[in-house]
Amino acid sequence: MCGRCRCTLRPADLPRACHLSDAGVRHVDVDRYRPMYNVSPGSYLPVLRRESGGDEGYTAAVHCMKWGLIPSFTKKDEKPDHYRMFNARSESIGEKASFRRLIPNNRCLVAVEGFYEWKKGPKKQPYYIHLKDERPLVFAALYDSWKNAEGELLYTFTILTTESSSNLQWLHDRMPVILGDKASTDMWLNGSSDTKLNAVLKPYENSDLAWYPVSSVMNKASFDGPECIKEIVLKEQQLNPITKFFSKRTGDEKEPSNIVKSLPEESTATDVKDNIQEPEVQKGSKLFSSAGKSDTETKFDVSTHTPRSEIKVEGKRDFEEFLADSKPKNNQADIKPQMTLKKSKVKGATEKQAKLSSYFGKS
């Protein structure tokens, strides 16, 4: 779909943009044309059409017409609506009466520097599409004439569209029919009615088409000037890459395979302690009752190194009594409690610990 374009070309430049020489080309109503960066339906644009006469059998004319087709069979007292037919689907022009009768003799070319398209979303974002070398884009079009109640003859045209190219499908499903070389412009403008014109009515797949986002002020048809084609930076492009990395993932996103889920190097004495099954003690009894201390106090005395030898002996005796009481009573006294810890799994306080940054450095 093409509903806005930029045309600041001079009418005299139109034949060359359409791969024609200036010889035998006349100009019609070009004084109505006003160059604009934001052209919308209802505006006048120079159009190159075929014209009978001349020594070569035909001549071309640069004719200034209004964008938005008004069929000739429209009632004279009816108010013209240029937004109704500013585009025509190329796949169906042979089926609709408004366009089918125009194919034999009313084909024309429209040259612009670029056109605008809006990407749908929470907020529509306009993009400016043009050729990388700034050459004009040439569109295939059809024109017609209509006489109103005052007897004024009005020429109007419509731009043909086709399926979007593979490079622009992300933006829109339709695009104007772009004629990219002399062969295609000659066939559309001068080909006979029995010519297979469908050969040129196809998506433009060349790699020289470029685009970039422009200001959303383009939504207003009254907005005009060089600011219309000024490239902008979208907000999502301004985000810091590190912010995107740590942003919350949606539920259907897969977790990257290179992120480490567990860190075996961080095994400590606490991890080993959690795997030791402590023997059950009857409710009401006290551990190490001979010492008259609570469970917490006794553990503290055992784990700390105190210079008093009597505390060491007392702690050792209590610990042996604890082991004796905790032995199973099912003739499996020969099985020793698995209380030993492998020194290789426990890191001392002075041993160098792995830093968190070292794990993120792993591939």
Report whether 213 contacts 196 (CB < 8 A): no
Measured CA to CA, the distance from residue 72 to residue 65 in angstroms comes to 14
Q: Which residue in 5, 7, 18, 117 is the catalytic one?
A: 117
250: which residues sit within 8 A by CB, 6+ positions away?
Answer: none
CA dist 93 → 21, 31, 85, 154, 159 (Å) = 29, 31, 12, 22, 11
Q: How far apart are CA 86 and CA 79, in angstroms?
A: 16
For the record, the structure tokens of 33 come out as: 């044309």
Residue with tokens 């209802």: 42
What is the DSSP track for 282-326?
A: -TT--TTGGGT--HHHHHHHHHS--S-HHHHHHHHHHHHHHHHHH
- Evaluated on CA atoms 111, 112, 114, 120, the torsion sign reads negative
How many CB atoms neighbour CB 311 within 10 A?
Answer: 14
Which is the catalytic residue, given 2, 7, 108, 228? Answer: 2
Backbone angles phi, psi at 130, to 5 degrees: -155, 175
Nearest-Å Rg of the Cα atoms of the chain is 42
Q: Is the alpha carbon torsion for 137, 138, 142, 144 positive or negative?
A: positive
7 is a catalytic site residue? no
What's the rounded Cα separation, in Å, for the pair 10 and 194? 33
- Using CA atoms of 163, 167, 169, 174 in order, give the dihedral in degrees to the nearest 10: -30
Tell me, yes or no, if 117 is annotated catalytic: yes
Euclidean distance between CA atoms 206 and 167, whole angstroms: 9
Catalogue the active-site residues. 2, 117
